[in-house]
A and B are shown apart, each in its own frame.
Chain A
Amino acid sequence: NAGVTQTPKFRVLKTGQSMTLLCAQDMNHEYMYWYRQDPGMGLRLIHYSVGEGTTAKGEVPDGYNVSRLKKQNFLLGLESAAPSQTSVYFCASGGAVVNEQFFGPGTRLTVL
């Protein structure tokens, strides 16, 4: 039981490049979330999903897209990376609305 895993762990991009971050969970959770963590700002919700095939915008969705084609996977895409997207990205999943969230180890992304 791996919990929540994220791929890759680190990445450096040039401005304008694209990439996809993969989040996978093996706990059969319905809810999945993508956050970004920046110094002094805590965690801010980018997008979330309440089930396979559904996605919704969070607090800071601009510049990101997501897909949840399979229940266990939640992909975060950056179509044209910008330096403002330099951050640590965390994925989380939850089995029910009131339960705790289980977090992945994070992806550290630098955009030059």
Chain B
Amino acid sequence: AQSVTQPDIHITVSEGASLELRCNYSYGATPYLFWYVQSPGQGLQLLLKYFSGDTLVQGIKGFEAEFKRSQSSFNLRKPSVHWSDAAEYFCAVGPRGGTYKYIFGTGTRLKVLA
């Protein structure tokens, strides 16, 4: 079955520290991969996406993610976290092969300490 796993429910980092949020997926083929961010009381905003090609993708707000086929992972990283990055982050796989459904992970809530 297709699935997305975000093993960390909560993560706390200090401002200025580096960040890595984990995402693992189960899919029949190489999926389209996305990271979204949700600030409190807001909808989801796309941070970055991977379709094919270079396995290291750059996104908005200084985020990047690396697709590793061998590990079925698409981890999100940021070298230096800002207090405004506190939010909930969702990994998602997008549809291939005639399906139209996206599958979202359960999210990782990031807290940033001043």
Interface residues of A, Cβ cutoff 8 Å to B: 4, 31, 33, 35, 40-45, 48, 50, 56, 58-59, 90, 92, 97-98, 100-101, 103-106
Contact = CB atoms under 8 A, between A and B. Distances in A.
B102 A42 contact: no
Nearest to B99: A97
Interface of B: 9, 32, 34, 36, 41-46, 49, 51, 90, 94-95, 100-102, 104-107
A93 to B, nearest CB: 11
List 3 A-B pairs, minimum CB-CB distance, nearest first: A103-B43, A42-B106, A43-B104
Given A50-B100, A100-B49, 5 more contacts: A4-B43, A40-B9, A41-B106, A42-B106, A98-B94
B6 to A, nearest CB: 8
B20 to A, nearest CB: 19
Contacts of B34: 100
Nearest to A31: B100
Contacts, number: 50
Contacts of A31: 100
Nearest to B100: A50
B94 to A, nearest CB: 6
Contacts of B41: 106
Contact of A98 (B32, B43, B45, B105): B32
A42 B90 contact: yes
Nearest to A45: B101
B101 A103 contact: no
A25 to B, nearest CB: 12
Contacts of B49: 100
B90 A43 contact: yes
Contacts of B51: 98
